[in-house]
Structures are given as C-alpha cells and as structure tokens.
Amino acid sequence: MMGISMSRINKAGLKDLNLRNFAAGIVSALLAITGPPAIILEAASNGNFTTSQTILWMFSCYVFGGIYSILIPWYYKMPIVGAHSITGVAFLATVTAHFSYSELIGAYIVSALLMLAVGVFGIFSKLLDYVPKQIIAVMLAGMIIRYMVNFINSITELPIIGGVALLTFLIFSKWKTKIPPMVAGIVTATVLLFLTQPLESLALGSSPVMPALQVPVFNPLSFLSVSIPLALLILSNDAAVGLGALEQNDYHPPINKVISLSGLFSVLTSFFGGQSANVAGMMSAICADPEAGLKEKRYMGAVVSGVIILLFGLFAWKLVPLIQVLPKPFISLLVGFALLGVFGNSLSTGFSNPKMKLSAALTFVIALSNITLLNISAPVWSLLVGTLVARFVEN
C-alpha cells in the first residue's frame, strides 16, 4: 500500500524547480531549523541527555524528516512537507525529566506505531472527532506557558537583542510578508548576538557521532504519559493542519497513506533517538500556497525544504555543540519565538467554543500544574478530564 516506486520518482527531473517554489522551500526549511533545535536542546537538557544522545535526536529527526520531504512529495507530486513536530518537542520538554532515555525511546516507538495504526485502519478523522481539538490545543498551551514566561524574562536579560528581535517579529507580523515572523525574529536575534558576543567563544563541535540503533524500554506509564499525548499532538497540530492546507489549495492528498507514512518514518526515527518524522503543518501550508507558483510544480518546494533539512541533520554533530554554548537567556529567546505562534494559536483554538468553557479551563489549569498523580503526568490527566467534561458534562 505504501510502496514507493523509484522508477516513478526518477521520471521527475529538476525541470519543475523554479524561483517561486525554491523560495517557498527555503522559507519552509527555515521554520524547521531556526527555533525547534533550541527546543530539542531544552528537552534534552531537562532529561539529562548526553551530548551524543542529543546529537542523535537532532540527527534522526532532521535526516528522516528530510528524506520524507524529498520522497513523498516527489512521488505524489504534492507539496507534502516532512519534518518533525515542534509541538511534540515542546511537549517532550515537560516530560523528559520523568523517564529514562531508554523509556523515552520506547515511548517514541509506540507513539509512531499508534500513528501507523491510525493510518492503516483509516480512523484519523474519527479519532480527532472524539478528542475535541480545543482540548488538545489548550493542553498544549498549558504545557508551554512557562516557556512564554521565560521568553519575556529573557528579553529583560538581553534587552537590546530581545527588544529589537521582538520589534522585528511584530513588524513582520504586521506586514504579513513571505518571511514568517518567527524566522525574522530569530535571524535578527542571532545577528545581534554575533555582533555583541566574541565569536571566539563559540566553538564548533569536531567529533562526529555515528548513527546507532538505540535500545528501547517499554512500560505502561510511558505509554500513557508520553506515547498517547505525543501521537495526538502530531496528528492534530501537524497532520491535520498540513493535510487541511493541501485540501484548501485544491490538492487531494491520500490522507490515510500520508498518516501511515508518518508513522512508518517515525518508527525509523525513534530507533535512532528522535521522536518523529511526519507530515508538517505550517511548512506544508507554505509550500502549498499559490505564492509558491504553479500548482503542479509546488511539490518541488517541499523537496527543496527536505534537502535543506536533511543537510541540517547530517551536520547535527557540528551544530549541537555550538547551540549548547549559547547564553541561556538567548536559548530562551529562541524557544520563545519558536513557540509564540503555537502558543497564540493554541489559546485561540482552545477557548474558541463558548460551550466548552469549563472543559477548556480545567484542561489548561491541569496541564499548567505539571502534577504527577499515580505516576501519570499532567498532560494525560488534562486530556482525560477535559475530554470527559466536554463529552459528558457540557455536551
């Protein structure tokens, strides 16, 4: 069902590449390689990962995400962009401290298998219908709010860098240019950092870390606390957004196959230390937009994005040590810019239905509390309580 004919891929040449889809591909890739790496490092630091484990996480997500973004759009001739899930990483940053590295690997694999099953059995829409999107969105908002607080604090600690970068973010938000505000803010902050910090203090890594299969450990608690929320976040915040953007632009993506392939690629990614490689939400929206050129050629934007992401992953062993020595307030600044749009969208979606005020409020507060009850983490309790209240109290 999911076999990809290499002969079909080879028939398509670079003749469909043009300036407009090339530019869309670059912008799409920038979304993946600017803010999200800082969140990965934050999550890895919270879980006390070694440098090698952190590099493998970055390597696997970007390499397999890049391969997904090259093969799948080229085969289907649709701008189905592949990457890893920024909302998934933001969630993991809240739970990596509670499980061992091997338990997390096992949880990633189970999460990927859940996505694969959703695609194979064709229950994607039914699953998202049962767990209201408002509950998933407000759970995410509650989990990442502390990163938003750290973001504001980092601006006060780095007033010139943070203030100018935030102003740039707001200007690009107002102008609605082709360059996403997140990218504009992060690039501005990075340029200012290099202008105000001695470059000799930033050393690139020099020792390559070879890819290696990671040994998983499976247990029921990591399944409940990590696998289920991670799969739901990827399906609702990435797959649903990306596939929806394709349909809005008159594409007819094979939904079940795309979900299944996301699960399959995520399984491969998990065995090498990453959490997922899946269809991307906003990145697919960028490459599917009419601004990316003729409809039948927009798929090349996804391919360009995949090539850039793949290269980024291959050089993770050089980049991770560089990011690790950046000032902590600056990392908080990058994470904040990467999550600001996600946070705003989550709040907007989460509290969009006036009939779900109670369930949304309870979900938000429970997720924010970061409690652990019966060894089950806050995100799971927030999903459970919020869904039950929405279904049986407010319905």
The predicted-structure confidence for 16-60, as pLDDT tens digits, reads as follows: 888 888 988 988 898 888 888 989 999 999 999 999 999 999 999
φ/ψ (deg, to 5) at 197: -115, 140
- For residue 311, tell me if it sits in a domain: yes
Helix axes 181-196, 19-33, angle to 10 degrees: 60
Instruction: Read off the pLDDT of residues 304-331 as tens digits, 9 standing for 90 and up.
Output: 999 999 999 999 888 888 887 788 899 8
- Position 311 scores a pLDDT of 95
Residue 234 — very low, low, confident or very high, per pLDDT cuts 50/70/90?
very high
The pLDDT value given to residue 202? 55
Predicted confidence (pLDDT) at residue 339 exceeds the cutoff of 90: no
Q: Write the CB contacts of 48 (distance below 8 Å, at least 6 apart in sequence).
A: 97
- Contacts of 39 by beta carbon, 8 Å cutoff, 6+ apart: 86, 89, 90, 93, 335, 338, 339
| Alpha carbons within 13 A on the beta-carbon side of 135 | 27
- For the chain, give the mean pLDDT: 88
**Could you tell me which residue, 276 or 290, shows the higher pLDDT?**
276
Which residues in 105-263 belong to E strands, given as ranges?
none
Judged against a pLDDT cut of 70, whether residue 13 lies above it is answered with no
Q: Within a domain: residue 392?
A: no
Percent of all residues in the chain with a pLDDT value above 90, rounded to a whole number: 55
Task: Report the percentage of the chain scoring pLDDT > 70.
Answer: 94
E strand spans, 339-392: 372-373, 376-377
The count of C-alpha atoms lying within 13 angstroms of the C-alpha of 119, restricted to the half-sphere facing its C-beta, is 29
Query: What's phi and psi for 198, nearest 5 deg?
Result: -65, 125
User: Does 112 fall in a domain?
Assistant: yes
CB count within 10 Å of CB 374 equals: 7
Which residues lie below 8 Å from residue 337, measured CB to CB, with a gap of 6+?
35, 151, 165, 169, 182, 185, 186, 189
Nearest 5°: phi and psi at 34? -95, -70
By CB atoms closer than 10 A (0-12, 13-18, 19+), residue 283 is buried
- Containing structural domain, residue 78: 16-197+210-341
For the chain, the domain total comes to 1
Across the chain, the runs of DSSP E, i.e. the strands, are: 82-83, 278-279, 372-373, 376-377
Rounded Cα distance, 229 and 147, in Å: 19
Query: pLDDT-based confidence at 358, cuts 50/70/90?
Result: very high
CA-to-CA distance for 320 and 317, rounded, in angstroms? 6
User: Quick one: pLDDT at residue 3?
Assistant: 46
Q: Mean pLDDT throughout 63-68?
A: 96
Residue listed under structure tokens 């969630």: 91
Decide if 354 is inside a domain: no
pLDDT higher than threshold 80 for residue 203: no
Tell me the C-alpha distance between 323 and 316, whole Å: 10
Let me know if residue 361 belongs to a domain. no
Kindly state whether residue 139 falls inside one of the protein's structural domains.
yes
Mean pLDDT of 188-204: 75
First-to-last alpha carbon distance for the chain, in angstroms, is 39
**Confidence band for 128, pLDDT divided at 50, 70 and 90:** confident
pTM summary value: 0.84
Q: Among candidates 108, 92, 9, which has minimal Cα distance to 306?
A: 9
Question: What is the C-alpha R_g of the chain?
Answer: 20
Residue 376 within any structural domain of the chain: no
Is 256 part of a structural domain of the chain?
yes
